[in-house]
């Protein structure tokens, strides 16, 4: 029976970055004793509460087990506090679908090769792709001068070319990945000079 004296955890949220997900919450304040937490999950396909390797833990976060790290699954989690034998009420998350709710980081730039009129970028997506994954890369680029006009182009390959550039000129670029309905974060600008022909 949940105790009216032990408050339930607050600020319960799923934090998900590049499809790595965890549940976190604020610690429950008590005057004496140490509070432990228990987390359960259920999926849309099998709506029965299961334990989640986070039973009576002292931490205020719990990583998703491999069993529920599926991008398209709908997952609901719940967490409660326990003080000795006394549990709080459960707090439930709203349904979580990684493919819709994760935050994608920027693509990683591995190498930049400059010629006199272009920059060739070799990039990798922000997470390890599964077979059949398709990414769209957005490249924003501009001449590093006082008047900057940002240009934009899109590509599906991990070798991206920014062409029609002036020779011996400093250009800056930022990248973003699009994956399904998700739009990733933009990378910090990087600047490279084109070569002299």
Q: How many CB atoms lie within 10 A of CB 143?
A: 17
The superfamily (CATH) of domain 108-193 is: Immunoglobulins (2.60.40.10)
pLDDT in tens, 51-96: 999 999 999 999 999 989 999 999 999 999 999 999 999 999 999 9
Given a cut of 70, whether residue 137 has pLDDT beyond it is yes
Question: Confidence class of residue 3 from pLDDT cuts 50, 70 and 90?
Answer: low
Residue 47's pLDDT is what? 87
Decide if 63 contacts 69 (C-beta within 8 A): no
Given a cut of 90, whether residue 10 has pLDDT beyond it is yes
Given a cut of 80, whether residue 4 has pLDDT beyond it is no
CATH value of 10-100 in 2.60.40.10, 3.40.640.10, 3.10.20.30, 3.30.70.260: 2.60.40.10
- C-alpha to C-alpha distance for 146 and 65, rounded to whole angstroms: 50
Question: Confidence class of residue 148 from pLDDT cuts 50, 70 and 90?
Answer: confident
Residues of the chain with CATH 2.60.40.10: 10-100, 108-193
Query: Which of helix, strand or coil describes residue 165?
Result: coil
Query: Which of helix, strand or coil describes residue 186?
Result: coil
Q: Which tops the pLDDT comparison, 61 or 1?
A: 61
- C-alpha to C-alpha distance for 88 and 112, rounded to whole angstroms: 55
Decide if 91 contacts 8 (C-beta within 8 A): yes
**Please, what is the average pLDDT of the chain?**
94
Residue 5's pLDDT is what? 79
């Amino acid at each position: 029976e949940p105790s009216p004296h032990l408050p339930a955890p607050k600020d319960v949220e799923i934090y998900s970055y590049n499809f790595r997900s965890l549940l976190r919450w604020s610690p429950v304040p008590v005057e004496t004793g140490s509070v432990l937490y228990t987390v359960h999950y259920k999926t849309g396909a099998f709506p029965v509460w299961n334990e989640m390797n986070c039973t009576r833990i002292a931490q205020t976060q719990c990583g998703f087990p491999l069993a529920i790290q599926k991008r398209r699954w709908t997952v609901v989690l719940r967490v409660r506090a326990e003080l000795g034998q006394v549990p709080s009420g459960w707090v439930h998350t709203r349904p979580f679908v990684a493919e819709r709710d994760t935050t994608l980081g920027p693509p990683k730039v591995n190498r930049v090769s400059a010629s006199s009129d272009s920059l060739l970028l070799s990039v990798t997506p922000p997470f390890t792709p599964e077979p059949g994954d398709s990414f769209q890369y957005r490249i924003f680029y501009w001449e590093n001068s006082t008047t900057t006009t940002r240009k934009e182009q899109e590509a599906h390959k991990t070798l991206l070319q920014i062409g029609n550039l002036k020779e011996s000129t400093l250009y800056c670029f930022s990248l973003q990945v699009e994956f399904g309905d998700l739009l990733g974060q933009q990378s910090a600008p990087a600047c490279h000079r084109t070569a002299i022909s």
